[in-house]
Structure 1
Amino acid sequence: LLVIGPHRRQVLRDVFIGTTAERTIRSVTCPVLMVNATPAARYRHVLQTTDLSDGSRDALRRLPALGITEQAKNSLLYVFDAPALRLTFSGSMPRDDQQNNLDDEKRDAARDLAKFVVSSGLGGCHQVVRYESTAPQHEILKSAKAEKADLIVLSTHGRSGVGKLMIGSVTEQVLRSSTVDVLAIPPLRSR
Structure 2
Amino acid sequence: IAPCGQCGSNTQRIVRESPVPVLAVKVGNEKLKFKNVVFASSFEEDVHKQFLRVVEFADLMNAHIHLLYVNMPFNFKETDEAEANMHAFHKKCPRGTCSVNVYNALNEERGIQKFADSIKADVIALTTHGKSGFMKLVSRSITESLVNHSEVPVLSVNINVE
Are 1:149 and 2:121 an aligned pair? yes
In terms of fraction of residues, the more helix-rich structure is 1
Aligned to 2:142: 170
Aligned to 2:70: 79
Query: CA separation in 1, counterparts of 2:85 and 2:46?
Result: 16
Q: How does 1:64-143 map onto structure 2 within 5 Å?
A: 64-66=55-57, 69-83=60-74, 105-118=78-91, 121-122=92-93, 123-131=96-104, 133-143=105-115
In terms of fraction of residues, the more strand-rich structure is 2
SS in 2 for 1:189: coil
SS in 1 for 2:144: helix
Give the direction of change, closer, same or farther, for the CA distance of 1:67–1:144 in structure 2 (3 Å limit): closer
Normalising by structure 1, what TM-score?
0.72
Query: Of the candidates 18, 26, 36, which is equivalent to residue 28 of structure 1?
Result: 18
Give the direction of change, closer, same or farther, for the CA distance of 1:124–1:166 in structure 2 (3 Å limit): same
- Give the CA deviation at 1:116: 4.1
SS in 1 for 2:6: coil
Provide the identity percentage: 26
Q: Which amino acid aligns with 2:137?
A: L
Work out the number of aligned pairs and report it: 159
**Structure 1 gap segments, 5+ residues each:** 87-101
Q: CA RMSD in A?
A: 2.5
CA contact (8 A) 2:35 2:122 kept: yes
Q: Which amino acid aligns with 2:23?
A: L
Normalising by structure 2, what TM-score?
0.83
The structure that has the greater radius of gyration is 1
Query: CA separation in 2, counterparts of 1:26 and 1:130?
Result: 26
Q: Which amino acid aligns with 2:70?
A: V
- Give the CA deviation at 1:158: 2.6
Query: Of the candidates 5, 8, 16, which is equivalent to residue 6 of structure 2?
Result: 8
